[in-house]
Structure 1
Amino acid sequence: MSMRQDKVKVAVAMSGGVDSAVAALLLKKQGYEVHGFFMRNWNPLSNIPNDCPWQKDYEDVRRVCNHLTIPYSTLNFESEYHKRVLIPFLNEYQNGRTPNPDILCNKEIKFDVFWNNVKALGFHYMATGHYSKLENGALVKPKDADKDQTYFLSALSDRQLENVIFPLADLTKTEVREIAKKAGLPNAGKKDSQGICFIGKLTVRDFLKANLKIAPGEVKAATGELLGKHEGSELYTIGQRHIGVAAGGKTLYVSSKNTKTNTLIMDREENLYTNKLSFEKAAWSIPVPQSFQCQVQTRYRSKSIPAIVSLTNSMELVSGEAELLLPARAITPGQTIAFYKDSKLIGNAIIK
């Protein structure tokens, strides 16, 4: 860096969790001028039922920043979050698809709205507690393979990564916990958050029931046999078990959904695996040919699978098919597929 490190201002997106707290700690130790920011994304006065524990998270941010003797602020993005994350999330479910709101939140809020706001305040960089790594401007898998979060960041553009620091790139979760404990951080023992940020303790099912127009419909076997009824097809995702539905003593799972007839199609576990998928809305961080081999990841925490990717149009390169060299379970429309060359993220798309 051309300027003195103690003059480089870094805005740390702090969630109240131990990862972003340690990120702020490490940056301060490295001599940066660190400022913690808590993003207020959920409006508790909204008429959308929820159980988002943001007050407790904010209190943890306040305690950590006071412990580190760094300034902290709150930025309110309720309007942007509602428009750019929550509404698309609900619309996708209403249309029978299963989106990933964390990927959308990173692309639309944390690395867009948040960065534009702190940049306007004079900050040179932003940092988060993601387990991810940057090498020559490209996202690569971090040291902790089990906590790898590059999948959640796969929709970010090269421009969005230009002024980002990932302080936890070369640390494991165990090491992060130990650093937090030794530093006496007040949230050192806080459990990792689970589930979708704006739902809190509610189940996804209860949240969707409160916010979508749903209607009961038929549950059928892949053979066409009528098996029963469901509350609303939007409440189910591919690979999910339907309680009370079985055939021949075998447990059945949702294999597909027909949104036009509001029908769930059920099948046996062994029939949920496939070697092919189609995708759309692809974005690439490197030039790619019309056909190439790489590794793909079809959901968070799933293992990368070797695949042969074939793009439909040699000019646009935004849609195509992936032939999986190992079968994958419950490929789900609306989910993100991330493409890797070894440990380097090279693109993402939406599964059709």
Structure 2
Amino acid sequence: MSTKPTVVVAMSGGVDSSVAAGLLLRQGYNVLGITMQIWQESTTQTKGAGCCSLGAVEDARRVAAKLGIPHYVMNFREFFAEKVIDNFISEYKNGRTPNPCVNCNRYVKFDALLSKAQDLGAEYLATGHYARVEFHEDRRRWTLRRALDHDKDQTYALYHFTQPELEHTLMPLGLVTNKAETRAIAEELGLLVSNKPDSQEICFVQGGSYTDFLADAAPETVQPGDIVDTTGKRRGSHDGIAFYTIGQRKRVNVGSPIPLYVVGIDAKTNTITVGGNDDLLEEGLIADDVNWIGLAGIDGPLPIMAKIRYNMDAVPAVVSPGENGSLILKFDQAQRAVTPGQSLVMYEDNGDSVIGGGTIQQAFK
């Protein structure tokens, strides 16, 4: 009989969440599995359409049966569409590059699903994320730390945690040393998903083609327009702003003696601005929609380590409070391709614990 509290595991049908459930079961928790139904009615290939598709539900159900735990499917379709898909479409309409995983974690997993878990009498919600949740005794705050496996660390997409959410969250894979160890545990547990490939696509986009998705959902984002240089001179044409992000070179079909990159996207005029590599370098940025984790907030300049995209090493910077809760960040050294719509995530100067984060609004030189 279980001597530890009840925990609901968000089971996506993948190896990570499956192993998270198995590890917590080993540790003596009373484990329940829940898979979120988020695929949309317009999705025709639900069998293998990624995380939380029909195929994922079937895999999660088989894993739960193997582990001997109850498994439920809950319908989050409309809520997911409102909080994640609608924002995704809106950001592209405004010429920005969104991160849908951040909003899914913020609103769907660690808000709505955690609430459902608590309604079922669970003390905790657990996921297969690679991150660590710990309590900082000196600050009397819950903290979010990078996973032991820095290559798999997912704290960049988890900066919106509140203190109550962290208090009721478990992430057992934060202590796993690498993905090979995760798969080895899955094999020990006899789980058929032990060699299942990691999902690399946007879960609500069939075939991974987000531009096809946007062509249906927001046709204005795939309308041809002008490409101009940094002086405003027309240099060519583009296929639609949805095909471009800051720093991109592909699809910049402009004759030039030097490589040209996207340095600006103006949705109002349907214009792409291109420039050289030096034009991509920015001294700082302004971010809003800020959330604090490691600290309650700041009232003056604070040296930090900053990440402005998922696959990058954190770099030194100084952050200061801006207007209306925004942040002004200045890099120690100029950074390339600061992209509005993406996340700024701030770490302590040792690069280990998340201080907080926000959404990049604009860059400045």
Shorter chain as denominator, the TM-score bin is over 0.9
Q: 5 Å matches for 1:1-352?
A: 6-45=3-42, 52-53=49-50, 54-136=53-135, 137-171=142-176, 172-214=178-220, 215-243=223-251, 245-285=253-293, 286=295, 287-313=297-323, 318-341=325-348, 342=350, 343-352=352-361
TM-score under structure 1 length normalisation: 0.93
Are the aligned partners of 1:208 and 1:235 in contact in 2 as well (CA < 8 Å)? Answer: no
Structure 2 vs 1, CA of residues 50 and 167 (structure 1 numbering), >3 Å: closer, same or farther? closer
Are the aligned partners of 2:341 and 2:360 in contact in 1 as well (CA < 8 Å)? Answer: yes
Which segments of 5 or more consecutive residues in structure 2 lack a partner in the other structure? 136-141
Which segments of 5 or more consecutive residues in structure 1 lack a partner in the other structure? none
Q: What is the CA-CA distance between 1:288 and the residue it aligns to?
A: 1.8
Hey, which bits of structure 1, 4+ residues long, moved more than 6 A? none
Partner AA of 1:266 in structure 2: V
Secondary structure of 2:274 counterpart: strand
RMSD, aligned CA: 2.1
Structure 2 vs 1, CA of residues 46 and 169 (structure 1 numbering), >3 Å: closer, same or farther? closer
Are the aligned partners of 1:241 and 1:252 in contact in 2 as well (CA < 8 Å)? Answer: yes
Q: What is the CA-CA distance between 1:5 and the residue it aligns to?
A: 5.1
Partner AA of 2:195 in structure 1: G
Secondary structure of 1:348 counterpart: strand
Are the aligned partners of 2:10 and 2:33 in contact in 1 as well (CA < 8 Å)? Answer: yes
Q: What is the CA-CA distance between 1:223 and the residue it aligns to?
A: 3.0
Q: What is the CA-CA distance between 1:242 and the residue it aligns to?
A: 4.0
Q: What is the CA-CA distance between 1:273 and the residue it aligns to?
A: 2.3
Partner AA of 1:67 in structure 2: K
Secondary structure of 1:185 counterpart: coil
* Distance (whole Å) between structure 2 residues aligned to residue 107 and residue 219 of structure 1: 36
Partner AA of 2:272 in structure 1: L
Q: What is the CA-CA distance between 1:322 and the residue it aligns to?
A: 1.0
* Distance (whole Å) between structure 1 residues aligned to residue 79 and residue 230 of structure 2: 42
Partner AA of 2:285 in structure 1: L
Secondary structure of 2:272 counterpart: strand
* Distance (whole Å) between structure 1 residues aligned to residue 337 and residue 113 of structure 2: 34
* Distance (whole Å) between structure 2 residues aligned to residue 299 and residue 243 of structure 1: 21
Secondary structure of 1:201 counterpart: helix
Query: How many residues matched?
Result: 346
Are the aligned partners of 1:38 and 1:58 in contact in 2 as well (CA < 8 Å)? Answer: yes
Partner AA of 1:14 in structure 2: M
Q: What is the CA-CA distance between 1:96 and the residue it aligns to?
A: 1.2
Partner AA of 1:9 in structure 2: T
Structure 2 vs 1, CA of residues 209 and 138 (structure 1 numbering), >3 Å: closer, same or farther? same
Are the aligned partners of 1:51 and 1:198 in contact in 2 as well (CA < 8 Å)? Answer: no
TM-score under structure 2 length normalisation: 0.89
Are the aligned partners of 1:50 and 1:200 in contact in 2 as well (CA < 8 Å)? Answer: no
Q: Deviations over 1:317-341 (max 9, x none)?
A: x213211113322111111101111
Q: Deviations over 1:150-170 (max 9, x none)?
A: 111111211221211111111
Are the aligned partners of 2:346 and 2:357 in contact in 1 as well (CA < 8 Å)? Answer: yes
* Distance (whole Å) between structure 2 residues aligned to residue 147 and residue 110 of structure 1: 19
* Distance (whole Å) between structure 1 residues aligned to residue 163 and residue 91 of structure 2: 26
Structure 2 vs 1, CA of residues 253 and 50 (structure 1 numbering), >3 Å: closer, same or farther? farther
* Distance (whole Å) between structure 2 residues aligned to residue 259 and residue 243 of structure 1: 17
Structure 2 vs 1, CA of residues 149 and 161 (structure 1 numbering), >3 Å: closer, same or farther? same
Q: What is the CA-CA distance between 1:50 and the residue it aligns to?
A: 12
* Distance (whole Å) between structure 1 residues aligned to residue 216 and residue 359 of structure 2: 26
Once the two structures are aligned, what percentage of the paired residues are identical?
37
Q: Deviations over 1:178-234 (max 9, x none)?
A: 111222210000111102111142312222122113132101122333221112223
* Distance (whole Å) between structure 1 residues aligned to residue 171 and residue 359 of structure 2: 25
